[in-house]
Chain A
C-alpha cells in the first residue's frame, strides 16, 4: 500500500498549485498515515469496527489518486423535489456546484482554504489521510445575524466512473453571532467499493444555531467515514440527526466541544440495517463549562446479519458544574444473526451534574405483537407498525418541521 500511496500522492500534488511549504505539510501528513495505516481493532475507538480489515475484505487494493481536472455533468434528477433549497454538489469528490440562489449574496462568504490543515484533538490516522489528499477545501461563512432562508443540501454523489478509490472531502463552516444554518447531507451513490473519508468542521459563535441532517439511505457498496467537529460558543445550539442505512459500512463520528455557557448539543440517530451491513456512530460530547446541556438518542433496527455499534461518551470537565447530559440507545434485533454493540461512557469530574445513560437491546416485544394481531392485523403488519413507532420517536426529535416531513417521506415512516 505504501508505494501506491506515494505514487498517488505525487500524482495528485502535480495537478495542484501549492507552495513548497504546503507540499511539505501534506507530505508530513502522508508519512503519518503511512506510519499508522488504517485504524484497526487494537485501537480502543475502533474496537468494534476494524476498518483495516473491512477495507481489505470489501475493497482490496485502494487507489488514492483522483483525476479532478475535468468536470462532471450534474445530474439534476437527484435533486430533492418539493423543497426549495441551496445546493452544494460533490460528484466523485469534486465540487461541481455551489449555489446559494435563495440567499442574500453579501451575507454568505465562500473562502478557499485549501492550504489549511485539520487539527482535531480526538482524531485518528484518517485525518492525516484526509489532509494529505484533499485538494480543494472551502469555508462557508454565515455572517453575523443572518439566518438562511432555505436549507442547504449537500449532495454527495458518486457514479460508476470510480472504482476502488479513496475519496477525501473537507468543508469548514463558521456561523457568526446569531446566525442559523440548516444543512442536509444527502448521499447518492451509484458507484461501488469506494472509501469516502469526510471531515467537517463547524464553528458556532454566540447564539448560532446549526441543524445538520445526514441521510445515507440508498443501498450501495461503499465504505464511509465521516467526522464532524463542532465547537460551540455561548448559547449556541447544534442538532445532528443521522440516518444510517445505505452503505455497506459507515462510521459517523461527532466530536462536540461545548465551550460557552448555556450551549447545547443534540445528537439523534437511526440505524436501519440489513444484509451484512455494519454501521457505527461514535459521539463525544465535551462539557467544558458551566450550564451546558447534551441529549442523545440512538435507535437501531437490525435485520439479516447486520451489525450496529454505538459508542457515546459524555465528558464533564471539573469546571462544568450544572451539566445536564443524557444518552439513550435502543436496539431491536430482528434476526438471530444480527448484532448490537454499545459502549455508553461517562467521564465526570464535576459533582453538581445530572448525567445518565441507558442502553437496551432485544427482540420485538411478543406481547405487543399479540395485542396488535388480536385486533386483526397480520403478523407482518404488526411488526411493521411496531418498528415504525419505534423509529418515529427519533424522527420526531427533529425540530425543523419542513425537514422532518422530508425525512419522514424519505424513509417511509408514517405518523
Chain B
C-alpha cells in the first residue's frame, strides 16, 4: 500500500471525532437573563458589556427564527442548550502554558495544533478556543512588541475597553438577524485582533475552535480591527467530536478595515458533518461581515467548507470607503446528507469600489448545496465593478446544486458580470486521466483539485496543503 492510500485510510472517517474527557463548568441549562448575567459574571465583565448583552437579548425575544433558507432543520429548542461550558481548570486563568491542563494540551496536539513552545508552528500565532473559553494564545510577546493586540475577546473587554466599545457591534449590530442577535446576547469567547497604524503583521494569526462538551452551543465572537495602512492575515479552523445529536454553532465575526488597511480572513471549516446516514453533526449558522470603512481598504474572505451537517453563512463585505475592494473565494463541499446554503454579499456604497466572487461548489452523495449571493451597487457607487463566477459540480444523481444570485445595479457607470455553470465531471476528462494510469478516485481527486485551484491559491501555504487534502477526503466514497 502506498503512502497516499495509507493516509487516506487513516482519514477515511472523521479524524477529529474524539472527545476529551474533562471536567466542565457549565451555566445552567436554558436561555434567560440569569444565564446571561452568569456568563457576564464568570467572565468578570464590566457593566457596559452586560448591558450590551441584555439589550441584544431583549431584541432576541421578539425575533423569529428565519425559514427562507434551503436546508430545513428540525426546530431548535433554545431552552435545551447550555450556553456556557468551560474546562474547570480554566476557571482561574492559568498564567502560562505550564499551568495548562495537560489534557487540553493533549487534545490540541491530537488535532495537530501544538501549543508548546518547542513544537509551535513556525510563523503562526494561535488562539485556541475550547468550548466557551480561549485556553491559550501563542507568540503573544512577539506580537506585543509591534503593538499588535491578539488575545481572547474576554481579555480585550477588560484590557482594551475603549477599542471594544467603539467597534463591537458596529458591523453586526445587536439588532441584526436572529442568530447574530442570539450571539450578541450569549457570546462566550473568541479572538480580538488590533493592528496598529502602519504595521504589517509579521505572522499569520490563527484561531482554532473546538466544540467538546455535548448539548452546548458554541457562540464565539471575533473582532478584527486593522488601523490605517496595516495588514493582517487571519486563519480559522474548526473541529468537533462525533455525536449523535446536532449541535449549534452560531458565531459572529466582525472585520473593520480603516484607510489603506487590508484584512485577509481564511477559514477551513471542518466541523463534524454527521455520519453516513445524516445523523448528528454541527449546525454552523455563522454571521461574518466585514466593513471597508476607510479609503483604499481591502477585505478578502477565503473559505473551505467541508464539515457541518448544515452550513448557513454569507461572509459579506460592505464597501463603504472609496476605492475599497472586497473579495470572496469559496469552496464548499457536501457529501452524504450534508447541506450547505452559503455565499456572500457585496454591498457597494463608495466610489470606485471593486468586488470579486469566486465560488466553487461540489455536491456528492445525497447532499444539497446552494450558492446564495447578493451584489448591490447603490446609486452613489460610481464606477464600481463586480465579477462573479460560481461553478457547481455534481457527483451522482441524488444530490442537488442550486444557484440563487441577487444582482442589483443602480448606477449606470458601474458594471456587473455574473457567470454560473453546473455540470458533472466529464467522461472525457476521467478517461484521459485513467488512460495515463490513475485510478478513478485519483482521477476525480485531480480534476476536483483543478476545479478548486483558483480558490486554494488564495490560502496561506500551510493551510493550502491541508485544505487540498481535506478536499480529497471529503469526497471519499463518492465515486463510482
Measuring CB to CB, which residues of chain A are less than 8 angstroms from any residue of chain B?
Answer: 44, 318, 321, 331, 333-363
Contact = CB atoms under 8 A, between A and B. Distances in A.
B400 interface: yes
Nearest to A302: B412
B403 A336 contact: no
A202 B471 CA distance: 47
B120 to A, nearest CB: 44
B20 interface: no
B433 to A, nearest CB: 18
Contacts of A362: 409, 412, 414-417
A362 B417 CA distance: 9
Interface in B405-441: 405-424
B403 A363 contact: no
Given A342-B407, A361-B415, A351 B395 contact: yes
A356 B422 contact: yes
| Interface range for B | 20 to 34
B345 to A, nearest CB: 14
Contacts of A347: 400, 402
A346 B397 contact: no
B174 interface: no
B151 interface: no
A349 B397 CA distance: 7
Contacts of B408: 339-341
Given A346-B403, A356-B421, A356-B422, A351 B397 contact: yes
12 contacts: A321-B397, A341-B407, A341-B409, A342-B406, A345-B405, A351-B395, A353-B422, A358-B419, A359-B416, A361-B409, A363-B414, A363-B415
A256 B29 CA distance: 52
Nearest to A310: B407
B404 interface: yes
Interface in B151-200: none
A177 B417 CA distance: 42
Contacts of A336: 379, 411-413
Given A44-B68, A359-B407, A362-B415, A348 B392 contact: yes
Nearest to B376: A341
Interface of B: 68, 379, 392, 394-424
Given A336-B379, A359-B407, A348 B402 contact: yes
Given A339-B409, A341-B409, A343-B406, A348 B397 contact: no
Contacts of A341: 406-409
A347 B404 CA distance: 8
A359 B405 contact: yes
Nearest to B423: A354
Contacts of A356: 419-422
A339 B410 CA distance: 4
A351 B394 contact: yes
A228 B140 CA distance: 66
Contacts of B412: 333-336, 338, 362-363
Scoring A335, A336, A348, A356 by chain B CB atoms within 10 A of each residue's CB, the highest score goes to A348
Contacts of A361: 407, 409, 415-416
A351 B407 contact: no
A354 B425 CA distance: 11
Given A340-B409, A361-B407, 20 more contacts: A321-B397, A337-B379, A339-B409, A342-B418, A343-B407, A345-B402, A345-B404, A346-B401, A346-B403, A348-B392, A350-B397, A351-B396, A356-B419, A356-B420, A357-B418, A357-B419, A359-B405, A359-B417, A360-B416, A362-B417
